[in-house]
A and B are shown apart, each in its own frame.
Chain A
Amino acid sequence: MSDILLKVRDLKIGATVYPPGEKPRDIEIVHGVSFDLERGKVLGLIGESGAGKSTIGLASMAYGRGGVEITGGEVWVNGRDILKTTHGDIRKLRGGEVTYVSQSAAASFNPAKKIMDQVVEAAVEQKKFTRKVAEGRARELFAKLGLPDPDNIGDRYPHQVSGGQLQRCMTALALCPEPDLVVFDEPTTALDVTTQIDVLMAIKEAIRDTGVGALYITHDLAVVAQVSDDIMVLKMGDTVEYGTTDQIINNPQEEYTQALVSVRSIDHEEKKPTPEPVLSVDGITARYKGLNFDVLHNVNVELHPGQTLAVVGESGSGKSTLARVITGLLPPRDGEITFAGRKLSPDLKRRSREDLRELQMIYQMADVAMNPRQTVGTIIGRPLEFYFNMRGAEKRKRIIDLLDEIELGEKFMDRYPAELSGGQKQRVCIARSLAAKPKMIICDEVTSALDPLVADGILKLLLDLQKIEDVAYLFITHDLATVRAISDSIAVMYQGRVVRYGSKSEVLNPPFDDYTDLLLSSVPEMHLGWLEEVVAHRKMESAGN
């Protein structure tokens, strides 16, 4: 019994919500969750947004964020129920026995204080170490976590280091007081995929070397599979499945878990290029007004009718800028764009209505892509009116057809965007672009703001619609799983250049260039031991060089 570090029994958590203009009301967000965590082990908590996973993590520190309150159950840490202990004891628990790593280190560090002051603060306040010892320990941790210049980085202010580095500093902050348990709350979600792998490995090694127990909270099953011993799958505040990592990944019992494991299992056979591309981008170079450097350098890509070109890259690669150039929002400095056999004017204002109709766009954030004051019917109906002069019954019938195509149906016609879920909003945006009967749609990160299962539904819908409507997609994304699922050809972008371009099978198969290799190998795969394999492989390669 003595090696049980954290024991949670029938944990219930409630929150008070304040709907404007109405009476506050209490709702339950976690409905009786139980689990055990042994000393030195890692438990992964996984679920989509609203699953209650962060709330459970914070409950192990007897903390409720905002109006959140623990309403029932027991949380035992080191042999005592922290929900029944004294205020003073809870303060010793927080920052001493249990520490916390948040998703956004940038917001979690006090901008007015030096990193070192904040990293050692808990250890010194809890009288675990003297300031001097704590600082020495912090420097060791900085070095272990692979931070540059570990002896001096603590003298900097949070805004003076990069996002990936700050996330590692946050891990050092959590490990510095030698806690028994660390709660990692989506520690790598905000990072680019190539940065994520380094931080993930650093966290994993730090956990192993210090023998600390951990709760690892994330929405990404492939990530949690790399670091945890056990996994608990949560949905809407309930436990769906709880077992060893091996069992959850390789032998999931529940339908929901199976869906999570098999997500992005969409199979899409690559189509052969046609003789005549619908879009060809030739030698595009572009920069934003007021900047003195180019964000796109000599970009050349082609998209064939009824096919999908995925433009993939990390933040700052220029992929969204390319979309702005093609739509005419950002006239390029050089190069030209041919669309449906005719040269497109670089400036949006000088394009014909036909050009605009045939080239549609779908956005990442569906909720700001729709006017909140218009109903779904108005939103989808406007392109019909505008491009085809449809009115009355004819327009209504077409709107209903489109709503059926996106699997929502007529009853959604009079709803406002605020009444829809994230996935439904994105579907309406798809219907709006289809209403124009376009030859091509630019999809800018259309699934990145959605939970994996919802995103999966959207991708399936887009593929189905492509078959029916024979429309081409220019699919901009940072997510390689999405790229695999949907594309016929791929352009990999890095620092404003296309570094690799070709059919899906060409791009995703060796021989690779350095960047594509790094990018592809950084995407977490849903099998145990992947992280070690990649890191070992990289070490070997760098030794070989």
Chain B
Amino acid sequence: MHPILKLVFQRLALGILLLFGASALIFGLTEALPGDAAQAVLGQSATPESLANLREEMGLDRPALTRYVEWLGGILQGDLGTSLTNKLDIADSVGKRLGNTLFLAFWAALVSVPLAIFLGLLAVRYRNRWPDKLISAVTLTTISIPEFLIGYVLIYFIAVKIGWFSPLAMVNDSMSLGQKLNAIALPVLVLTMVVLAHMMRMTRAAILNVMQSAYVETAELKGLSNFMVIYRHALPNAVAPIVNVVMLNLAYLVVGVVVVEVVFVYPGMGQYLVDHVTKRDVPVVLACGVVFAAIYIGLNMIADIVAILANPRLRHPK
């Protein structure tokens, strides 16, 4: 087997291992901490007898390992269990909301990724001059304010004072794509601002690193035009670090979504998770935790695999 395939398979295997590890960690946390689903249903005033009865009824008296294996087996077959509070099937609710969340994240990525790369290039082009300084000052400010506050600042100034877009991002199936996009304009803007700073800074660093290498100097000394230097020599080597930057920030975006959904009352996974944390609905929290962890681990894994595939030393071994 080509050694690069071996490395890719190794990384895939590690990703799967991490997924199992993460699910065990999340399940383990709910086990190790005081309180459980039965306690949550009955509240603090429950008598020990009623707790014990409910635990038996819910199967909570069986060993943790058995329940973990059952839970995991369920997830693998698409069964996430039922909610304690509204008795609905979790997989159904997650399915619809995950679609909404990914819709939001997708549009945020579509705006922020090209913008970040463009601004990163701009900052490198005008390094240490005013455009670079302005970009870094603005991005420093945006990373210094939590996502939810950026959200309210935008609602206050754009939705309320100017009157553009709705302060609430309600979407449902009967809306057209245009209506939906109009509804999510502000949350997309917030998410863009949140990831833009990190993504742009990291892109800038990655490009600078390549541009300062000796082989770019060689290309310049061949009399190539700036465009050719970048297109032929810088870009092939900058792709891997930039893809890496993008993936890491998409992972970050998935977390940012949680808070932004709450601000804009957007019917997605984040809102769903936070609601049920407050209600102490353990099965829902477990399911959401695993879904978020899976997305996060998956994106990180893709970043690593792209880096492996893009490395010429691995692609063309001696």
| A–B contact via C-beta, under 8 angstroms | yes
Binding site for B on A (CB under 8 A): 61, 63, 65, 90-96, 99-100, 102, 104, 107-113, 118, 121-122, 125-126, 157, 159-160, 173
Please give the distance in Å from B309's CB to the nearest CB on chain A.
12
Interface residues of B in 205-244 (CB under 8 A from A): 213-215, 217-225, 228, 232-233, 236-237
Report the separation of the CA atoms of residues A481 and B242 in the bound assembly, to the nearest whole angstrom. Answer: 48
Please give the distance in Å from B210's CB to the nearest CB on chain A.
10
Whether B34 is near chain A, meaning CB under 8 Å from some CB there, is no
Known: A65-B217, A108-B217, A113-B236. A159 touches B312 (CB 8 A): yes
Q: Which residue of A lies closest to B237 (CB)?
A: A112
Residue contact B222 to A121, C-beta cutoff 8 Å: yes
Residue contact A157 to B223, C-beta cutoff 8 Å: no
Please give the distance in Å from B318's CB to the nearest CB on chain A.
5
Known: A125-B228, A159-B318, A160-B318. A111 touches B313 (CB 8 A): yes
Report the separation of the CA atoms of residues A62 and B232 in the bound assembly, to the nearest whole angstrom. Answer: 22
Q: Which residue of A lies closest to B313 (CB)?
A: A159
Give the number of A-B contacts (CB < 8 Å): 75
Please give the distance in Å from A501's CB to the nearest CB on chain B.
35
Convert B179-217 into 0s and 1s, putting 1 for each residue whose CB lies closer than 8 angstroms to a CB of A: 000000000000000000000000000000000011101
Binding site for A on B (CB under 8 A): 213-215, 217-225, 228, 232-233, 236-237, 312-313, 316, 318
Report the separation of the CA atoms of residues A94 and B219 in the bound assembly, to the nearest whole angstrom. Answer: 10
Apart from A99-B221, A104-B214, A107-B213, list 12 A-B contacts with CB within 8 A: A94-B223, A107-B214, A108-B215, A109-B215, A111-B312, A113-B233, A121-B219, A121-B224, A122-B223, A157-B312, A159-B318, A173-B218
Please give the distance in Å from A212's CB to the nearest CB on chain B.
16
Chain A contacts of B318 at CB under 8 A? 159-160
Q: Is the contact region of chain B dominated by helix, strand, or loop, or is it mixed?
A: helix
Residue contact A63 to B213, C-beta cutoff 8 Å: no
Residue contact A94 to B220, C-beta cutoff 8 Å: yes
Report the separation of the CA atoms of residues A110 and B232 in the bound assembly, to the nearest whole angstrom. Answer: 10
Chain A contacts of B223 at CB under 8 A? 90-96, 122, 125-126
Residue contact B215 to A111, C-beta cutoff 8 Å: yes
Chain A contacts of B222 at CB under 8 A? 94-95, 99, 121-122, 125
Report the separation of the CA atoms of residues A247 and B308 in the bound assembly, to the nearest whole angstrom. Answer: 56
A-B contact pairs, 20 of them (CB 8 A): A90-B223, A91-B223, A93-B223, A95-B223, A107-B214, A107-B215, A109-B218, A110-B215, A111-B237, A111-B312, A112-B312, A118-B218, A121-B219, A121-B224, A122-B222, A125-B223, A125-B224, A157-B316, A159-B312, A159-B316
Known: A112-B237, A157-B316. A95 touches B213 (CB 8 A): no
Residue contact B236 to A112, C-beta cutoff 8 Å: yes
Chain A contacts of B313 at CB under 8 A? 111, 157, 159
Those 10 A-B pairs whose CB atoms lie nearest each other, nearest first: A95-B222, A95-B223, A94-B223, A107-B214, A122-B222, A91-B223, A110-B215, A112-B236, A108-B214, A108-B218
